[in-house]
Structure 1
Amino acid sequence: MSDQQKSSFFGAWPVAVSAVIFDWAGTILDFGCIAPVAAFREAFTRTGVAISEAEAREPMGAAKREHVELILAQSAVQTRWLNQMGQASTQADVDRIYEAFLQIDAAGSARYSTLIPGALETVSALRRRGVAIGSTTGYPRSIMDMLMPLAQAQGYCPDHCVTVSEVAHGRPWPDMPLANLLALNAPDVRGCVVVDDSPSGLLSARAAGMWAVGISVSGNEVGLSLDDWNALDDRARSDRRDAACRALRNAGAHYVIDSVADLIPVIEDIEQRLAAGDQP
């Protein structure tokens, strides 16, 4: 047991961050969280009931089958479903759309698997500090078995990955961050940091008693590819960033940053706060 672990077990505050737990799409790879949105929209289009990008994005962070249910629960979507199908959606419809989503998303994984600029540099800096790297995702293991090798080929390989199919509850419950903590042998939740672009992921971090860092620009709340983001003028960028920051802070983010590239100063600030006796 390290000195840090001993001090934590005997009641002292942790003085350093021991683990950082990253989300995937919109946080580490897939700038703009494009892949799941495109797959949800295509899956619904195949039923004959199209959905907008905003409707697809609204439940982001949830387990993907639950995400389908939450899209169907939106009043405008359900109204269109009733008009097209002549009856309310059923669990059989949810199953059918979810299976289509998995097939579409698996086929599109490579297209949207590019790491977000600065991700590798940030992870390397964390490893030099002795920080363990965990990860959580609303994808089931079947999708991650295809996505993780694509990330590894680019140099990203977390120490542990917990998928929503491996826990009793997905976000906003604390199950996935806590499962990472146990797998990574992190000595204290107060020294763990969750980095996520979805409000439900930040709620999960807070429920687990961890620091919550929201990702605004590269994530679902802005929802633009890197090229589309770069094409905006300064005023449009500011407006979109501000709206994203509000949503993430309302979900409990202790910090909000543009992308994972901006994380290290936050880690340093958290460690200063831990040393002063602060807690998440």
Structure 2
Amino acid sequence: MSTHPHSHGKHGLVVLDMAGTTVADGGLVEQAFTAAAERLGEDPATMIDHVRATMGESKISVFRHLFGGDESRAQQANTAFEDAYGELVAAGRIAPVPGAAEAVAELKDQGRTVVLTTGFARPTQDAILDALGWRGLVGLTLCPADAGGRGRPYPDMVLAAFLRTGAVDDVRQVVVAGDTSYDMLSGVRSGAGIVAGVLTGAHGEAALKEHGATDVLPSVAGLPSLIRRYEERGA
């Protein structure tokens, strides 16, 4: 027997990525990365391909890879990146993905719990939420450090959302949506029943499907009706 009869068979927990999924960042990650590389006296051109390929991964992991395990250099680079990104956010260079806030409101109206996750550190995530006026949009936001530090492509943030909210009884009742291969992998590895890719960010349909997307949508605005279709089919 389900301890929460209302959530039985219902996709009651929706875990959404931020930049590229609910937040239109218009290339800010790459701009901030370039600024950080220049501040550190590194050549951004040699690194940018790796940054594009690993979009969605925890940023500190990206820097650890780039600096070959030099932890202090990786931390220094991560701080420079977060500072540069924060400056761009503070300068008003960020906006919601059209329809994203409305989609979150609709998901909540449907009785679902919505959690926002990011590969950024907490200060940057908070700066984005503040810039958008989204502090009160959802009850829980998670960054990699909130879930053990590994970030994506590990399933840790999705599972932390599952554990902390208690919104559903079964990981198969979780919905994950994101714009990167790593978002899809983290969803698949968590056991989520719906892993939706969106085309408003870093990666295209082929990459999203290759990494486990159950569905690919033009944007997160289509997510509430996708979930309803699953439930109507009894999936």
Shorter-chain TM-score bucket reads 0.7 to 0.9
1:24 correspondence with 2:18: yes
State whether structure 2 residue 173 is matched by structure 1 residue 213: no
Q: AA paired with 2:54?
A: P
Q: Is the 8 A contact 1:23 1:196 kept in 2?
A: yes
Equivalent residue letter for 1:21: V
Cα distance in structure 2, aligned partners of 1:132 and 1:93: 38
User: Which residue number corresponds to residue 95 of structure 2?
Assistant: 114
* Percent of residue pairs bearing the same amino acid type: 27
| 1:28-65 residue CA offsets vs partner (Å, 9 max, x unmatched) | 11254x22221112111232412275443211111111
Q: 2:114 — aligned with what?
A: 133
Moved over 6 A (4+): none
2:51 aligned with 1:68, yes or no?
A: no
The answer to whether the 8 Å contact 2:102/2:221 transfers is yes
C-alpha spacing 1:31/1:97, structure 2 compared with 1 (3 Å):
closer
- Distance apart, 1:69 and its partner CA: 3.0
**Unmatched runs of 5 consecutive residues or more in structure 2:** none
Give the 5 Å matches for 1:153-192. Answer: 153=133, 157-168=137-148, 169-187=150-168, 188-192=170-174
Deviation at 1:72, TM superposition (A): 5.1
Q: CA deviation at 1:113?
A: 2.5
The separation in 2 between residues aligned to 1:72 and 1:30, in whole angstroms, is: 29
TM-score (norm 2): 0.88
Deviation at 1:251, TM superposition (A): 0.6
The one of 3, 6, 12 aligned to 1:4: 6
- TM-score under structure 1 length normalisation: 0.74
Where 1:25 maps in the other structure, the secondary structure is coil
Offset at residue 66 of structure 1 (A): 0.9
Q: CA RMSD in A?
A: 2.1
1:269 maps to 2:229: yes
Secondary structure, counterpart of 2:95 in structure 1: coil
Q: 2:30 maps to what in 1?
A: 37
State the distance in 2 between where 1:155 and 1:272 align.
Answer: 32
In the alignment, structure 1 segments of 5+ residues that lack a partner are 9-13, 74-88, 222-243
SS state at 2:116 partner: strand
- Counterpart of 2:196, as a letter, is V
In structure 2, how many angstroms separate the alpha carbons of the residues matched to 1:112 and 1:207?
33
- State the 1:18 CA deviation: 0.4
Return closer, same or farther for 1:220/1:49 CA change in 2, 3 Å cut-off.
Answer: same
- Out of 43, 66, 70, the position equivalent to 1:49 is 43
Match of 1:85 in 2: none
